Structure 1
């Protein structure tokens, strides 16, 4: 019996364990941290041996195949050692992909990938497709392949997941954009990070479809080099009719094959320039999937707000509170600020990932009346923005909300768009967003 070792016991790890058992592997799961109770119960029900709080290398190195969590860096000595011994180390998505022939609609990019993923899934589901949601959102792809198999999957892929994918092939791939992010995992070299994102094209065929953000210079230049195998179609916010999706005044136009689809941008439930991009990408993918105009329109006009992404929480004393906790990099924060049409009390801060904040200076000058820096160490933010707007230094959510409540006036927006990772004060961006929403609800 072949031995499968799984490193990391979160959603992807537990899902890989389920699929491994179904395929007849001897499965062992190891997590350096503490396993959540629901995953412990799942592993026990499956009869999977596991450990937490350590990695026992003598047991791990007996593997025939290793599936590792995307959060574990490739440079970790244990991962390097496994590969040196010729033991294959792959991602959960790669593992799942080897055991299904379902169609894969995959989305990556520095920004917009979650919204695009959820929107495309919503459109396909409303159109009656047998579709599953997986990757960074939804349930583990491996778990679904094991016991809830669909004919189509919409999969959000991070660069970390793509790094562990080798044979996997997308039928339709979307690359929204590439801006500096996670550079600490890529030797602080933007090119390495960009290369990782372009791995989504691996193994694609001529008959497949690659949808890309034409307005992102980094992506467009690579596509224009001409070494992309599948059909490449771009989307733009301009009126450039040579691109497959573009703006005609206030109308979104998308063309693929012999079809053209039009919708007024104000009819789409999610607003802002960044969401026009997301909608264009999803529309092009849906056209490839054969979704009718009627079903496309129904999906675009019924899609709910995405949690933690420009999510309106409440209006308190005439002040609108917006949760954009998922904005963990400069580009996401740029789109958030760009979509604001009222004076902004901006809450930013957290773990800096090598950010260059200069791209935000003009927008901050135009829109922000007060920046509240929330984090353990806000020195870089304070130095960057003090010459541009008033800055207040805080070190907890309670302190931040107290300042925001006191300083925001009727008609203002309090925008949590942190521009940084959450790990200094919170478990993750979801935890940060949830706590922010709780505090807003308690203001009434």
Structure 2
């Protein structure tokens, strides 16, 4: 009898898992409560995988041996509750796929900067000649890449939702680059639950594995002081010198691992800002552990200029720079964006609020923001938070309108910044769609 694998959600991770499941001789059934995109339907048809959309066939799903749940589906969904009641094993793509690869895995998580850090790490390892792929919460499905079985190394960007669905998954090198409240709507509005999820990345590590983390992050340090870990700690810091790990000395990054020391001038890093110095420290630590040459690490850091939708300069029009930071889906990410603004800023903000507290942004908004454009279905919280400190607050219901209003409000030497601090699912498919719509609207001015 073939084992039955049911997949809930037919996006990138779902369809990738279906392909791997079929290769591993499972009887595969894919079920999506919404509509499956045509490009994914085609893949399922080409691979002769059974699927349904627009609802769930409960009997079929509940008879599964194992269920892979896509990260966007919450635990509170009725089909997931029924699976739990029936004691059916529900896991994430990361858990399922990791069983079928012997590759060395680097797992990177954090509230902000994980895409930048994962992309940078991947670039350094690839430039160093490793046979490496990038996956997880970014790019092509990890499961599908495992099914191709041609990689020796994986760099995985991991969200808390993906980590919630692991049981035995264990990266050889894990990195937790920072913590700040995010997705609290999925964690009973309890920050400590979200923190526990993030630390699942080291749950199954052993003394042969490594854990890279931000030693300046109070929430990380507090958790580590209360919970013993098995893996070898490699902290990074901008504030203090460390015996082992990465730190700043004057204008250099220093990386010390065992008896090797590596120095890199901060000024030559291709992506600027303090948070990016930390991202570079994490990536360099991984590269040093995997024995990439120092010269290759330096050249890779110099040549890397960031990822799409993360503080991405789009165009300068009438001496106004338009910046796409659509990937800022929480308050802390927007904090970094506003902090890096040097000119008076017209800020486009809003979307689906995930339990945001805007208080930490007040000083920055006061100092840097001249106008706010609210782009969401419900903007009340934003208006309440900033109504007293910003004179101009406008509500719009499309990206095109947001950009046109910004164009009217902005003056020479201003910046127009899209940094929503919210999820995008009210008016857009995802943050990429939101960022692309912004860029298209700017190019059409």
Residues of 1 paired with 2:242 and 2:337: CA distance? 27
Query: TM-score, normalising length from structure 1?
Result: 0.97
Residue of structure 2 equivalent to 1:264:
265
- 1:226 shift after superposition: 5.4
Question: Does 2:376 correspond to 1:375?
Answer: yes
Q: Which residue of 1 aligns with 2:139?
A: 138
The alignment partner of 1:277 has SS state of helix
How far is 1:239 from its partner? Answer: 4.1
| Equivalent residue for 2:401, pick from 399, 402, 412 | 399
TM superposition outliers: structure 1 runs of 4+ over 6 Å: none
Report the equivalent of 2:22: 21
Q: Mapping of 1:39-438 within 5 angstroms? A: 39-225=40-226, 227-242=228-243, 244-395=245-396, 396-438=398-440
- Secondary structure in structure 1 of the residue aligned to 2:363: helix
Equivalent pair of 1:382/1:391 in contact (CA under 8 Å): no
Distance in 1, matches of 2:287 and 2:74, equals: 34
Residue 242 of structure 1: how far off its partner (Å): 4.9
- Name which of structure 1's ranges 17-26 and 383-392 shifts more when overlaid on structure 2: 383-392
TM-score by length of 2: 0.97
Deviation (angstroms), 1:83: 2.5
Q: CA deviation at 1:85?
A: 2.0
Q: Check conservation: 2:101, 2:149, Cα contact below 8 A.
A: no
Deviation of the 1:311 alpha carbon: 0.4
1:300-326 CA deviation, whole Å, 9 max, x = no partner?
111132100000001111111100000
Give ranges in structure 1 of 5+ residues lacking alignment. Answer: none
Deviations 1:330-368 (A, max 9, x none): 100011111111221111111111111111111111211
Q: How much has 1:378 moved relative to structure 2?
A: 1.1
Contact 1:223 1:232 in 2 (8 A): no
Distance of aligned partners of 1:208 and 1:62 in 2 relative to their CA distance in 1, 3 Å threshold: same
Question: Secondary structure of the equivalent of 2:34?
Answer: coil
Correspondence for 2:4: 3
Q: Deviations over 1:347-403 (max 9, x none)?
A: 111111111111111111121122222222211101101222223222222322122
Give the distance between the partners of 2:356 and 2:257, measured in 1 at CA: 37
Distance in 2 between residues matched to 1:314 and 1:255, nearest whole Å: 40
RMSD: 1.3
Q: Offset at 1:148?
A: 4.1
CA distance in 2, matches of 1:244, 1:28: 46
In 1, the alpha carbon distance for the partners of 2:146 and 2:27 equals 18
Cα pair 1:323 1:437 within 8 Å, conserved: yes
1:279-302 CA distance string (max 9 Å, x none): 111111111111110110121111
Segment of structure 1 superposing worse, 392-401 or 212-221 = 392-401
* Offset at residue 253 of structure 1 (A): 1.8
Do residues 442 (structure 1) and 437 (structure 2) align? Answer: no
8 Å CA contact 2:375–2:395 kept in 1: the answer is yes
